[in-house]
C-alpha cells in the first residue's frame, strides 16, 4: 500500500481482518490516504486495492505494524470502528461491522474511542456505534456505558440509517436517532 500512495494506511474491512474481528477475507485491500490518485482501484500482482482519499480531518489514528519485516500503517482499533461506522459499505456491510463491534468491545480504549468520535466530523458514527455497542454487547463496562451516555447528549438532530445502502424503511430508535433498516446479529 505504501508503494501505491503516500501517506497510506490500511483501513476499513482490511483493518477489521487485520485485528482478527472477522473470519472473512476481503477481496479488496482498502488503503486510506489524503492524496488524490488517478487510478483508485489498481490491481497489483493479482491483488485488488481500493485507494480511498479522505479529508485530512478524517485521516488520523494509525498504528505501525510489521509485516514480513516491513512497516505498514493500519488504522488503530478504535479508528477502525469509527471509519467503518462512517462508511459501512467499505466495512463489508452491517454484518461485518456488527461482528467487529462485538469482538472489539473488550479490547478497545473507551477514552480513545470517545476522543476519536469527538474529533470525527460525521456524528453518524456515534449513532451507529452507540446503537450497535448498546444492542450487541451485554455487560458493557461502566466506562463504556459512560461514553455512550455522553454520546447521546452530543447526537445531531437527524435520523441516520443503520446501513446506508439498505432499504429506506425500518423502525426508528429515537434514543440513538437511527433507523434500523437492516438486521444485525
DSSP-derived secondary structure for 113-152: HHHHHHHSS-THHHHHHHHHHHHH-TT--HHHHHHHHHHH
Residue 167: pLDDT over 90: no
Q: What number is the average pLDDT over the span 154-181? A: 94
- Does the pLDDT of residue 37 top 90, yes or no? no
Q: Are 14 and 65 in contact (CB under 8 A)?
A: no
Kindly report, residue by residue over 20-35, the tens digit of the pLDDT: 999 999 999 999 999 9
| All cell numbers assigned to 45 | 500482482
- Cell 461506522 belongs to 85
Task: Look at residue 38 in the predicted model and tell me its pLDDT.
Answer: 87
Kindly report, residue by residue over 125-152, the tens digit of the pLDDT: 999 999 999 999 998 999 999 999 999 9
**pLDDT above 70 coverage of the chain, percent:** 100
Amino acid at each position: 500500500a505504501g508503494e501505491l500512495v503516500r501517506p497510506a494506511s490500511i483501513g476499513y474491512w482490511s483493518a477489521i481482518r487485520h485485528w482478527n474481528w472477522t473470519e472473512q477475507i476481503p477481496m479488496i485491500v482498502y488503503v486510506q490516504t489524503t492524496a488524490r490518485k488517478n487510478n483508485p482501484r489498481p490491481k497489483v500482482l493479482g491483488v485488488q486495492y481500493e485507494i480511498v482519499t479522505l479529508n485530512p480531518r478524517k485521516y488520523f489514528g494509525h498504528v505501525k505494524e510489521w509485516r514480513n519485516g516491513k512497516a505498514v500503517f493500519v488504522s488503530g482499533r478504535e479508528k477502525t470502528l469509527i471509519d467503518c461506522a462512517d462508511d459501512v459499505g467499505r466495512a463489508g456491510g452491517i454484518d461485518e461491522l456488527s461482528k467487529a463491534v462485538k469482538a472489539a468491545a473488550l479490547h478497545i480504549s473507551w477514552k480513545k474511542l470517545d476522543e476519536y468520535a469527538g474529533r470525527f466530523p460525521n456524528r453518524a458514527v456515534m449513532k451507529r456505534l452507540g446503537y450497535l455497542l448498546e444492542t450487541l454487547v451485554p455487560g458493557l463496562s461502566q466506562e463504556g456505558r459512560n461514553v455512550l451516555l455522553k454520546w447521546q447528549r452530543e447526537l445531531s438532530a437527524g435520523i441516520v440509517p443503520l446501513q446506508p445502502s439498505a432499504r429506506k424503511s425500518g423502525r426508528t430508535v429515537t434514543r440513538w436517532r437511527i433507523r434500523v433498516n437492516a438486521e444485525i446479529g
